[in-house]
Amino acid sequence: MQIPQSASETISKAAASRYAELQSAARFPVRLPISVKSNAGDRLTESENISANGVLFQLDSGMPVGSAVDFTISLPAEIVGATADVQLQCRGRVARSFSEGTRVGLGVVIEEYQYKRGEN
């Protein structure tokens, strides 16, 4: 058994393990609006793909692997068979980060979520 050299190495290994779980779930190329909340402020983006336990999206700037992120995925009423849009409020952790042109792709493991039905 190898003992990690630093706390950042521990976070990286834990994130890599969670990312392996994220990769094992079927991913669907669904584009849904996402509002990301962070210390840098609220940012709007959209999903590139989504699975039962994670989501991939891009931002103009990155977040460190292992960092917590709060975000809301908007599910249109017509897709979920509701009379109003449903907001999926999520708390997750960045499992991977990669550069893609001028943007940064983030693979986020969803750790907890709550549905909020919109008002008509």
pLDDT at residue 17, as a whole number = 55
Q: Is 50 exceeded by the pLDDT of residue 4?
A: no
| Cα dist from 79 to 32, 45, 72, 111, whole Å | 11, 19, 16, 24
Domains of the chain by range and CATH?
7-117 (2.40.10.220)
> Distance between CA 63 and CA 78 in Å, rounded?
33
Q: What's the mean pLDDT when you consider all of the chain? A: 83
Q: Is 60 exceeded by the pLDDT of residue 2?
A: no
Q: What is the pLDDT of residues 51-89, one digit of tens each?
A: 999 999 999 988 999 999 999 999 999 988 999 999 999
pLDDT at residue 55, as a whole number = 97
Nearest to 75 by CA among 12, 117, 16: 117
CB-based burial label for 50 (10 Å; 0-12, 13-18, 19+)? buried
3-state secondary structure of 84: coil
